[in-house]
Amino acid sequence: MMMRDERTLRVLDTGLRRAAENLALNRSLLECHQEGHSPHTLRFLRFEPSALVGFHQNVDQELLTEVCRAEGIDIQRRITGGGAIYFDPTQIGWELYVDKRFVGSSDMEKIAGRICRAAARGISRLGVDARFRPRNDIEVDGRKISGTGGAFDGDSIMYQGTLLIDFDVERMLRVLRIPAEKLSDKAIASARDRVANLRELLGELPPLETIQQSLAEAFAETFNVDLAPADSMDGVEQSRFEQALREMDSDEWIYQRNRPAVDSPLLEAVHRAPGGLMRAGVSLDRERGRIGQVWITGDFFTNPRRMLVDLEAALRGIAVVDLERTLHDFFDDYPVEMLMLTRDDFIRVLRLALDSDDAAPANGDNPTHAVG
């Protein structure tokens, strides 16, 4: 384990890469930081055209995979929560690998706020009035210019954001699974009005180095550290990256939250919680009054990431009448951090799914119920 210099922030630019490589670098740098090997790090990155789902999401629910394949757009799964996004060279990514002491908090909401305000100050230095909007966006005059999210590994934090520099909204809408009525000319124009690009706001695009330097200096000033530019990762980080890439550049990783076919009826519901959209699917054994399997997906943030897998295992085979007690017992015993999400949100989305059974067609092909 290295002696980490708490007053220094390493700056890495890993350039333009495939999605699998960028996300394997996420895992490598986060794990090495948690193990005490890597210094506090600010990483800049860019993606070849990619459609990325959040760690808890079902690919087929979120993306038009046939469009992605036809247009040569990589599909990948992030190690962080949050929603599906489209990424290409018209955006710059930034990531911080630090610990809770560096940020000055162990609360996910406070961490997001402090880092996003720092990023907003860096963007503002380029000549715009950027401001943080909870829970994790940065806006200019009410228009989104940066989305952010994060993950924990022990005391280590990976917090990441995207900065729109010359973004193609229409291409994003063609890739994400969006209702047809939202793809009308009027809806596309509305979506374009809700995001902001640096090129549009400034009239011309600053050099990439200038944008990165503005962000880096804002982070350094916010956290009172010195910047230490680096040309590359070290051998341990590179080895860990290659190991992560072998696992993540695979269908097993990408499609792990897609539901397998089940024989029993599948009850589904959607709940729009303050912490993000939640989807639940429940297979039900009506005769025995028992839950077969549960799938929970969505664009929310939790730590540890495997919490959902453990929760779904805890609910498998239980009596329906024991649902709430089992959920409370699980959360009482399971240490988890959630961003603007509570155990009651999990109860809500599962109860909505089960309640939909009253109106279910005989063939079990149930409509989805959504609540605000």
What Å distances lie between residue 10 and 13, 15, 95, 202, CA to CA? 10, 16, 11, 29
Between CA 146 and CA 150 the distance in angstroms is 14
Percent of the chain whose pLDDT exceeds 70:
91
pLDDT tens digit string along 188-237? 677 778 899 999 999 999 999 999 999 999 999 999 999 999 999 999 99
Question: Is residue 48 predicted with pLDDT exceeding 50?
Answer: yes
Write down the pLDDT at residue 184. 63
Query: Which strand (E) or helix (H) includes residue 349?
Result: helix 343-355
Q: What is the mean pLDDT of residues 331-357?
A: 92
CATH numeric code, 266-371: 3.30.390.50
Q: pLDDT by residue (tens digit) across 223-266?
A: 999 999 999 999 999 999 999 999 999 999 999 988 766 666 68
The model's confidence at residue 367, banded by pLDDT at 50, 70 and 90, is: very low
Q: Residues spanned by CATH 3.30.930.10 within the chain?
A: 8-254
- CATH number for the domain running over 8-254: 3.30.930.10
Phi-psi region of 350 (alpha: psi -120 to 50; beta: other; left: phi over 0): alpha
Angstrom distance (rounded) from CA 301 to CA 304: 9
For the CA atoms of 257, 262, 267, 271, the dihedral, rounded to the nearest 10 degrees, stands at 0
Strands 266-273 and 369-371 turn out to be parallel
Residue 48 burial (CB count, 10 A): 16
Q: Is the pLDDT of residue 363 over 60?
A: no
In this predicted structure, what is the pLDDT of residue 2? Answer: 60
Q: Please report which helix (H) or strand (E) contains residue 185, including its range.
A: helix 185-193
**pLDDT confidence tier of residue 175, bands split at 50, 70 and 90:** confident
The answer to whether 353 and 266 are in contact (CB under 8 A) is no
Structure tokens at 5: 């210099």
The boundaries of every CATH 3.30.390.50 domain in the chain are: 266-371
Judged against a pLDDT cut of 70, whether residue 22 lies above it is answered with yes
pLDDT of residue 302: 87
User: Each residue of 278-290: pLDDT tens digit?
Assistant: 999 998 888 888 9
pLDDT average, residue stretch 284-308:
88
Q: What pLDDT digit, counting tens, does each position of 119-162 carry?
A: 999 999 999 999 999 888 999 999 999 989 888 878 899 999 99
pLDDT confidence tier of residue 364, bands split at 50, 70 and 90: very low
Q: What is the mean pLDDT of the chain?
A: 88
